[in-house]
Amino acid sequence: MMNKQRYDHVKVENDVQQGWEEAGTFVATENSDKPKYYCLSMFPYPSGQLHMGHVRTYTLGDVISRFQRLQGRNVLHPMGWDAFGLPAENAAIQRNIPPAQWTKGNIEHMKSQMRALGFSFDWSREFATCDPDYYRWEQWFFTRMFRKSLVYKKSAWLNWDPVDKTVLANEQVVDGRGWRSDAPVERREVTQWFVRITDYAEELLNCLDHLPGWPEKIKTLQRNWIGKSRGISVIFPLKGEADSLSVYTTRPDTLMGVTSIAVAPQHPLAIKAGADKPAIQSFLEQCNRTLGAEANIAKLPKQGMALGLAVTHPLSGEEIPVWVANFVLMEYGSGAVMSVPAHDQRDWEFAQEYQLPIKQVIAPLPESAEECALDSGAFTARGLLINSGSFDGLDFDAAFDAIALALAEKKLGEQQINYRLRDWGVARQRYWGCPIPMINCAQCGAVPVPDEDLPVLLPTEVEFEGLGSPLKKMPDWYETDCPECGGAAQRETDTLDTFMESSWYYARFACSDAKDGMLDERADYWGQVDHYVGGEEHAILHLLYARFFHKVMRDEGMVKSDEPFEKLLPIGMVLQGGTKMSKSAGDAGDPQHLLEQYGADAVRLAMMFASPPEQSFEWSQQGVEAANKWLRTRLWALVAQHLDTGDKEAKIDARRLTPAERDMRRLSHETLSKCADDYGRRLSFNTVVSTVMSLLNHLVKFAETSPQAGAVRGEALRIAVLTLSPITPHICHALWEQLTGESIDRADWPAVDRSALEKTSVELAVQVNGKLRGRVQVQPDASEDEAVAVAREEANVKKFMAGKTTRKCIYVPNRVLNFVVS
RNA sequence: GCGGGUGUGGUGAAAUAGGUAGACACGCAAGACUUAAAAUCUUGUCGCUUUCGAGCGGUGCCGGUUCAACUCCGGCCACCCGCACCA
C-alpha cells in the first residue's frame, strides 16, 4: 500500500540507483541477439564540478539511451574523462597541488554527481585520458603516423608569448595579448610537430555529403573551415635573376590587370631584401611584433613597402614591381599575391594608399545591374574581360580555361586546388599532456620511441617552479639513448594537444581494457557511434579532428567505417546572464543544491521540458521546483490514488467501453504513439513531457469508477510511467514496480493499439472566406457532402453565409472545411 | 565583409506535409481550505470591442503567392553563433 507514502525523492532515487549498481543494469556486453546501439555523450574535462551545461548534455544522451533500450536495443552508453589540459597546471601553480592529484579528486567528485543524476553509464568502461593505459596507444598511434609521414616537424610562424615563453593557440590570444601574461603577443618562427590533416582534406570534405544524420548547419561550418578553392598557381620570373615567384589566384581572369605583386613579411624574398635594406628590415620586424592573432591583422590599415625588385608578367612581359605587404599571409597559398586593384578590394585599398596604378580588365555583364566605379572601390564581381588582348570578351569560365592554357604552354602556371585548412600543430610547451614519443638524436634526427618502450610515462611527481613546463627541467627524464645509434639523445619535452586524446576516445570505449592493441575486435561490434551528443561549440575542431583520426585508423585497418559518428545531436548552450555556463559562473551553475532539494528526476524533467535540444536557453531554476511539484502531486499522487482505491482492473473489452472510457483510452494510445515519434525521430523531448502532462490532466478529470474504467485508468498510468521513464527514471522505476510488480529495466515499449485510436467523430473547423466561424462534429472521413450539410446548419456559419453565393468549397477531411462566398 | 541561425503572450515554449495560433508549463490574479500562513485544490489569464452569442486585430517589419501562411517566395530590421585581408 502506498497511500500513506509521500513522494520522497531522496529515498526513491537512492534505492533505485543502488539497485542499478548491484544488478549492473547498464553494463554492456557484446553477446546479445539485440541490435547494437552506441550512444555517446561528449566526455567532460574534469574541472571540478558539473554545471548545467553538462547536466543538459548528459541527460539528453541518457534519455536517448534509455529510450533505445526500451526499443529493444543492446545499448552502449559509456563515460570517461578528457583529463589532460591546462587548468590542472594552473591549479598546480596557484594551489601547489600536483596536476594528477587535482585531476583525480575532480573526477571522483564529478562522478559522484553523475551517479546522483541517475545516468545509465556503463562505468565498467570508464577511463581517463591521463591513464598510461590510454595514452600509450596514442603514442603508439603517433609513431605509426610518423612512419606514414603523417607527422612531421616544421618551422611555422606562431603566436609567441614573450613573458611565458610559450607558443599560444589562437584562442589563447585576447586582443593581441597573452591570456595569462597580458603581454603583447609576437609572431615567431618556431619548429614544432604537425599532423598532416591536409592530406585528408578532400575526403573530409567529400564525406560530408554522405552524412545524412548530421545537421546541415554543422556540415556547412566544416565545409567553410576546410575552404576548398580552385585556382591557378602563376609563376612570375624575377627580373634579372634565374629565380621566380609563385603566386596563387582564384581569379586568373584578372591576370592582365596585375599592377604589382605583394609578398608576406615572412616571405623569403622579403627577408632577403630586408637583409641589406634597413628600412625594409625594420618594417618586417614591426609586422612580426605588432601582429598577434590573425584575426587582429584584418583590422589594421594596409601597409607595405616596395622591395626594389621586379618580376615579368608571364603573358604580357610587362615589368611589375614587388612589394611586401602586411595583409599577405605566409601560411596560405605561396605567401604571395598578385595585386589587381581594379578587382580586389584589399588590393584597391593598398593601391590607393601608395598611388599604385589601377587597371580595369573586367566589365560588368551586359544584363547585370552592377556598376564598375573604381573611384569608390574595386569591382569584384565576375564579368567580361576587357583590356586583355586576345582574351577580351571572354566570361569568367572561358577566361579561366584560356588563361590556364596560355600559362601552361609557357610552363608558367598550372591549375591548383587550395584549402584553407592547414596542418594541425600538435605540440604544446606544457607539462600536463601526453608526452610526444620521439627522441631527438644529434646523429639520427627525430627517432620514434620503439613500441616495446611505450608508454613514455609522464612523471607525476613534479615541482612547479616559476614558468614553463617542469619536464624541461628534468634531465633524468629527458636524457636517454638513441634507439637507432645508441648515442646520447634527448626526449621530446613537448606534450600533445589535448584534442589528440578526444579524437579517438569513442573507439576505445568499445574495448577500453584492451591490453594488446589500441583497439580490438569489439570495436567492430560496436562500430560507428549511432548517436553522438554534445555541445555545438565543438562543431569544427573536435569533430573534424575525430573524423580525421577515424580515417587514419581505417587506413591502418583498425576500424571499418569511413566516419565515426553516424548521427549527431549538437546541443545548444545553457546560458546564465547571457553568457555560457562555466565553472566560474558561480552557485547557480552548480546543480548540487537543486539535486538535494528537488531530486535528480526533477532536475532532469525541468531540463528536458525547458527547451528543444538544439536551442540555447537561459537557465532558470524555477522549473525544477515546478517539476518536483508535478512529479509529486500529479504522477505520484495519481498512481497512489489508483492503487489505493483498489480499483478492480477488469480486462479491457473495447466494445463495452463508455464514450468517456473510449476517449480516455484513445488519448493513452495517442500519447504512446506520439511520444515514440518524438523520442525516436524528432528528438523533441520537451513535447514528450507536455504530452504526458496533458494525458494526466485528462486522467484527473476522468471520474468513472467501474472495473472497466479502472482498467482504462491503470493502462493510462502504465503508459504515462513508461513513456516518461527515460526522462525521470527513478520515480518511474518505483511506480512501475507498484503498478506491475515488475522491473521497468526489463520492460519493452508497448505496441500501440490501432483500434483504440479510432474515433467515432471528429471536430471539423468551418471557415467562411478563410476565417474560422464554427466547429462541427462529423463522422471520421465524412464525405464532402455530409460535411457541408452539417456545417451549413451551424448557427454562426449560417450567419456569415446568409445572402451570399457559394463560389467554392475546400474540404480537408477531418480538419477543415472552407466556404468561399461572395 | 562572408556563412549560418533565431525572432510567436509577462516568461520558457507548442503548432511534425500550407489547414482551428498560443498546447504544456512558469508567473500573475481571484476564489476554496486555514485563526493565519505554507502546502494543496478550483477558476481566469494575447490585445481591443462586446448585446457575453460573438466581432476585430495579432506570430520582428513591408510586400507577394494561396480558398487558406508562424509555415512558402522577395525585400528590410534586430539579436545570436561561426569564420574573417584565404588572394
Grid coordinates given for A425: 600543430
Q: Which residue is nearest to nucleotide B26 (CA to C1')?
A: A623
pLDDT (tens digit per residue) in A29-80: 999 999 999 999 999 999 988 999 999 999 999 999 999 999 999 999 999 9
Please report, for residues A85, A99, A283, A434, the alpha-carbon distance to residue A104 in angstroms, rounded to integers and kept in the order given: 13, 8, 50, 16
Residue that is written with C-alpha cell 479510432 in the block: A758
What mean pLDDT do residues A527-543 have? Answer: 91
Grid coordinates given for A694: 496533458
What mean pLDDT do residues A615-629 have? Answer: 90
pLDDT value at A758 more than 60: yes
- Residue A297's nearest nucleotide, by CA–C1', is B85
C1' (B61) to CA (A220) span, angstroms: 29
- Residue A819's nearest nucleotide, by CA–C1', is B67
* Pairing of the two strands A319-325 and A260-263: parallel
C1' (B34) to CA (A633) span, angstroms: 20
pLDDT value at A398 more than 50: yes
Determine the distance from the C-alpha atom of residue A628 to the mean position of all C-alpha atoms in its chain, rounded to a whole number: 32
Q: Which residue is nearest to nucleotide B24 (CA to C1')?
A: A690
For strand B, the positions having any atom within 7 A of a protein Cβ are: 3-5, 11-16, 19-21, 23-27, 39-42, 53-57, 67-69, 80-87
Grid coordinates given for A486: 645508441
Please report, for residues A159, A170, A176, A304, A469, the alpha-carbon distance to residue A296 in angstroms, rounded to integers and kept in the order given: 12, 11, 7, 17, 28
Whole-number pLDDT of residue A289: 75
- Supply φ then ψ for residue A307, to 5 degrees: -90, -10
> Could you say which DSSP state residue A391 is in?
G
What mean pLDDT do residues A203-214 have? Answer: 92
C1' (B57) to CA (A776) span, angstroms: 25
- Residue A815's nearest nucleotide, by CA–C1', is B19
Whole-number pLDDT of residue A651: 79
H-run or E-run covering A575: strand A574-576
- Residue A769's nearest nucleotide, by CA–C1', is B67
How many other β-carbons are positioned within 10 Å of the β-carbon of residue A808?
9
Whole-number pLDDT of residue A92: 84
- Residue A251's nearest nucleotide, by CA–C1', is B87
C1' (B4) to CA (A216) span, angstroms: 9
pLDDT (tens digit per residue) in A221-248: 899 899 999 999 999 999 988 899 999 9
Whole-number pLDDT of residue A191: 87
| Angle CA A428–A432–A435, to nearest 5 | 65
- Residue A579's nearest nucleotide, by CA–C1', is B80
What mean pLDDT do residues A596-620 have? Answer: 93
Q: Record the pTM.
A: 0.94
pLDDT (tens digit per residue) in A279-290: 999 999 888 876
- Residue A617's nearest nucleotide, by CA–C1', is B12
Whole-number pLDDT of residue A3: 43
pLDDT bin (cut points 50, 70, 90) of residue A692 is very high
Q: Which residue is nearest to nucleotide B79 (CA to C1')?
A: A578
Instruction: Tell me which of A709 and A139 has the higher pLDDT.
Output: A139
In A635-684, where does DSSP find H-type helix?
637-644, 659-677
List, in sequence order, every beta strand (DSSP E) within A410-551.
413-419, 424-425, 427-428, 438-441, 445-448, 479-481, 488-491, 495-496, 529-535
Rounded Cα–Cα distance for residues A267 and A652 (Å): 84
What type of residue is A97? I
Residue that is written with C-alpha cell 451570399 in the block: A804
Whole-number pLDDT of residue A295: 45
C1' (B82) to CA (A102) span, angstroms: 34
Q: Which residue is nearest to nucleotide B12 (CA to C1')?
A: A610
C1' (B56) to CA (A773) span, angstroms: 13
Q: In b/e form, how buried is each residue of A550-576, taking b as 16+ CB within 10 angstroms? A: bbbbeeeebbeeebbbbbbbbbbbbbb
Whole-number pLDDT of residue A370: 76
Q: Which residue is nearest to nucleotide B69 (CA to C1')?
A: A770
pLDDT bin (cut points 50, 70, 90) of residue A540 is confident
Of A155, A176, A177, A159, nearest to A168 (Cα)? A159
Determine the distance from the C-alpha atom of residue A391 to the mean position of all C-alpha atoms in its chain, rounded to a whole number: 46
C1' (B26) to CA (A622) span, angstroms: 7
pLDDT value at A103 more than 90: yes
pLDDT (tens digit per residue) in A290-345: 655 444 555 677 889 999 999 999 999 999 999 999 999 888 999 999 999 999 98
What type of residue is A84? F
- Residue A328's nearest nucleotide, by CA–C1', is B85
What mean pLDDT do residues A462-472 have? Answer: 81
- Residue A696's nearest nucleotide, by CA–C1', is B24
Residue that is written with C-alpha cell 588563361 in the block: A403
pLDDT bin (cut points 50, 70, 90) of residue A621 is confident
Percent of chain A with pLDDT over 90: 72
Q: Which residue is nearest to nucleotide B2 (CA to C1')?
A: A224
* Average pLDDT of chain A to the nearest whole number: 91
Whether the ω angle into residue A455 lies within 30 degrees of 0, i.e. cis, is yes
pLDDT value at A586 more than 70: no
pLDDT bin (cut points 50, 70, 90) of residue A589 is low
C1' (B56) to CA (A684) span, angstroms: 36
C1' (B51) to CA (A773) span, angstroms: 19
What mean pLDDT do residues A769-781 have? Answer: 92
Whole-number pLDDT of residue A584: 46
What mean pLDDT do residues A780-801 have? Answer: 92
Whole-number pLDDT of residue A401: 95
Q: Is A52 exposed, middle or buried (0-12, 13-18, 19+ CB in 10 A)?
A: buried
Crossing angle of helices A600-610 and A9-23, in 10° steps, is 100
Rounded Cα–Cα distance for residues A668 and A207 (Å): 43
How many other β-carbons are positioned within 10 Å of the β-carbon of residue A162?
14
Rounded Cα–Cα distance for residues A747 and A800 (Å): 55
C1' (B61) to CA (A576) span, angstroms: 30
Is the C-alpha dihedral spanning A222, A224, A230, A234 positive or negative?
negative
The DSSP annotation for A62-75 comes to HHHHHHHHHTT-EE
Rounded Cα–Cα distance for residues A554 and A420 (Å): 25
How many other β-carbons are positioned within 10 Å of the β-carbon of residue A373?
9
C1' (B69) to CA (A546) span, angstroms: 43
